[in-house]
Structure formats: structure tokens, C-alpha cells
Amino acid sequence: MEPACIVLSIDPIIGAIAAGNAVVLKPSEVAPATSSLLAELLPRYVDGSCIKVVEGGVAETTTLLEQKWDKIFYTGNGKVGRIVMASAAKHLTPVVLELGGKCPVVVDSNVNLHVTAKRIAAGKWGCNNGQACISPDFIITTKSFAPKLLESLEKVLEKFYGRDPLRSSDLSRIVNSNHFNRLKKLMDDENVSDKIVFGGQRDEHQLKIAPTIFMDVPLDSGIMKEEIFGPLLPIITVDKIHESFALINSMTKPLAAYLFTKDSKLQEQYEAAISAGGMLVNDTAVHLTNQYLPFGGVGESGMGAYHGRFSFEAFSHKKAVLVRRFAGEAAARYPPYSPAKLKILRGVLKGNLGAMIKAILGFPRGK
């Protein structure tokens, strides 16, 4: 059972029901134990008229997408996100798409090194061993600082998971054999396999891969072209930290962008230059837990947002209602349009306060 899958299902359900909707939930077939648990527990504790759970695979999902819904909320990868959006377009159904992307971590040389390493490790390997949409996907730092950062990450990872991380009960398994083989293929790529500077151990029987760090992999390699969604972490070095901006902007817009620095000017420049669903300075991943912040993507990392009141708004339509009295007729709005009426109307369009008052009072009267 995967706790993250439960949270990703329950969080939007809360917003949808709070906003007065009935919900049909289709859990991921990739996490069958979680799907079965949700199908068992939700009807037990939630009114059956509010929610239905549909289990199954591609066939069931396809059938659901053929129906006409008021809103579709999808969490997953961009490939399926495009299918969801195309199906929704047939009925002009609005969607919220929570996708992923390659979340960058830019590390300046003036940081508290130990704290930085711990927070990167917690956000990467502590979040389901990298299997999270907001997991740090790659690091960018300067050539001169990279060895220090690597050394600190090595010390932190040994403290977190021991010298044999595959034996650690704190290191999550890869969700299934398909994803294990996908990650194995990324590691074994002839262009990156010799770039491993830490880790690399794996156990197919346990579906476990140790925290693995790469140094300066080619930017056109598979590991830098797709979302990793696993325990592999490339470090890319640059001469100057500001060069990271162009590198990030050459890729698709990420769900999250991280920056570690004590330089407030660099922070301001990063915030202005980088388009991302969310941004976190001097930490990773924890912005997800703040219910006062909207959580969502931009561009290929998704659209729409939720969490807290933003979940309520995601499943609501802001319907405008204006009620007027029968008194207080504005004569200038009705034909025939005399020069006096036109003067008032032009003034109203220009935002002239005097013209607005005259219109409200019914001028020109008797005409």
C-alpha cells in the first residue's frame, strides 16, 4: 500500500465534496493495494450518494473518460494527461491536471552545506525514494562547489540509510518491475553509466535501487530528457551560478523549482526568471504541506491548483448574480440618444464620476 497515493486521492475528494459535488474516484492501477483499500473504506465512512470508487485499468479509465463530467481532476504523467485533456475537450469539460516534470535544484556556494544536503536528500530520497512529482530531479551548481556538495550528500545519505542502503527499511521500494526496469535502463545508458559517483547498487528481487548520484551527464542523455521519478540524481556543473537560468528555461516548465542561497538578489532573479508551478527557497518538497499555498503546475507540468481553500475553488464555479430594484432608472441608457444622453454615456465609459452620478440619478430627466 502506498500512503502517498491515498493522500493524492483524498485531498481533492475533500475539496470536491466540500464544494457540494458528488465524486467518482478512479485510483491508479499501478498501486492495486491502495486502490482496493480505498474501494473498501470510502463507502464505509462516506455517504454512498457522494462518492463511488471505480477500480480497474486502461479499459475502465477509457470508459470513464467517454462520459460527460462537470470537472475532471487527474494526477499523473504528461502522456496520460494529454489523453485526459483530449477526452475532456469532446464535452468542453474543464480539467485540473497535476503532472510532473524535471524539478531543478540550484545550489549556490554560500549555503549552509550540511543543512542543504539534508534537505535535498529528504526531498529526493525521503519522498518515496524519488517517486514523487515534486522530487528534486537534478542539481545545478558551480564546478568549484560541486565536490563539496557531493561529499556532504554522501555523508548525509550514509547517515540516513547506512553503508548498505538496500538493507535499510527507510528506503522505499520502486513501485513495480516496469518502473524498476525503466530506471535500470537510465542507469545503464552507455552515456551516463560511467558518470555515477555515488551509489548505483540495485536489487531487482526487492525492487530496490540505492540513492545514486551522477556527475555531469550529457544534457541530451535520457536521464536529462525525461522525468526520472526515482532515486537517480544528476549533478550538472556550470562556471557561474546564473548560467543555471538558461539551462532550466531550455527545458519544459517544472512542477517545482528549488534554490539554495543566502543571496537575496540571486533569489529575486531566480523568482523572476524561472517559470514553475511552485518555488521553494532553501528547502525542497515541504511547500506541498502548506495548505495556504496553491499547489499546481504550469505548462507541461499541469494546469489548475488545489490544497486548502484552493481545492474548494478548483471544484467550484464562481457564478455571478446581480439583483436590481425597479427604482433608479438610468434614462441615458435608453434610445433615442440625444446629445445630452450621449455626453453622459461617454462620461460613464471614461469613468467620469460626475457622469456616473447623473446616470444613476436618471439624467437627462424628462427626455
Q: Are residues 132 and 280 in the same domain?
A: yes
Alpha helices in 226-350 (DSSP H): 243-249, 264-273, 309-314, 339-349
The residue range of the domain holding 18 is 3-99+309-314
319 Cβ contact list (under 8 Å, min separation 6)? none
CATH of the domain at 269: 3.40.309.10
Are residues 76 and 108 both part of a single domain? no
Domain assignment of residue 34, yes or no? yes
* Confidence (pLDDT) at 2: 55
Q: What is the mean pLDDT of the chain?
A: 96
State percent of the chain over pLDDT 70.
99
Q: Of 150, 158, 161, which Cα lies nearest the Cα of 113?
A: 150
Please report, for the domain that includes residue 35, its CATH number: 3.40.605.10
Task: Determine, yes or no, domain membership for 300.
Answer: no
- Three cell numbers, residue 21: 459535488
**Pair 255, 128 in one domain:** yes
Regarding whether 191 and 340 lie in a shared domain, the answer is no
Model confidence at 366, pLDDT cuts 50, 70, 90, reads low
Position 11 scores a pLDDT of 95
Same domain, residue pair 53 and 107? no
- Is 153 a member of any domain? yes
Residue 107 lies in a domain: yes
Does the pLDDT value for residue 367 go beyond 80?
no
Q: Are residues 11 and 92 in the same domain?
A: yes
The 10s digit of each residue's pLDDT in 28-39 is: 998 899 999 999
Residue 180's closest CA among 161, 205, 160, 162? 205
Instruction: Tell whether 50 and 121 lie within a shared domain.
Output: no
Q: Are residues 212 and 252 in the same domain?
A: yes
- Active site (annotated) includes residue 40: no
180 and 224 co-located in one domain:
yes
- Alpha-carbon distance of 349 to 346, in angstroms, equals 5
Q: What is the pLDDT of residue 123?
A: 98
Partners of residue 24 on adjacent β-strands: 52
Our count of domains for the chain comes to 3
pLDDT in tens, 104-113: 999 999 999 9
Does residue 227 have an active-site annotation?
no
What average pLDDT does this structure show over 296-308? 98
Is the whole model's pTM more than 0.85, yes or no?
yes
User: Residue 251 falls within a domain, yes or no?
Assistant: yes
Exactly one of 98, 127, 227, 300 is catalytic; which is it? Answer: 98
Which one of the listed residues 127, 133, 227, 300 is annotated catalytic?
A: 133
The three three-digit cell numbers of residue 246, written as one number: 538558461
Q: Hey, is 334 helix, strand or coil? A: coil
Establish if 299 belongs to a structural domain.
no
Looking at the fold, whether 84 and 202 belong to one and the same domain comes out as: no
Confidence of residue 327 (pLDDT cuts 50, 70, 90): confident
27-66 pLDDT per residue, tens: 999 889 999 999 999 999 999 999 999 999 999 999 999 9
**pLDDT tens digits, 146-166:** 999 999 999 999 999 999 999
Which are the contacts of 14, defined by CB distance < 8 A and separation ≥ 6? Answer: 311
Whether 304 is in a domain gets the answer no
Does any domain span residue 319? no
Sequence-ordered strand ranges (E) for the chain: 23-25, 51-53, 72-75, 95-98, 103-107, 136-142, 196-198, 202-203, 208-209, 212-215, 232-238, 256-260, 278-281, 302-303
Q: Domain check: are 152 and 281 in the same one?
A: yes
Please report which helix (H) or strand (E) contains residue 7, including its range: helix 3-18
Quick: pLDDT tens for 192-221.
999 999 999 999 999 999 999 999 999 999
Q: Does 112 lie in the same domain as 87? A: no
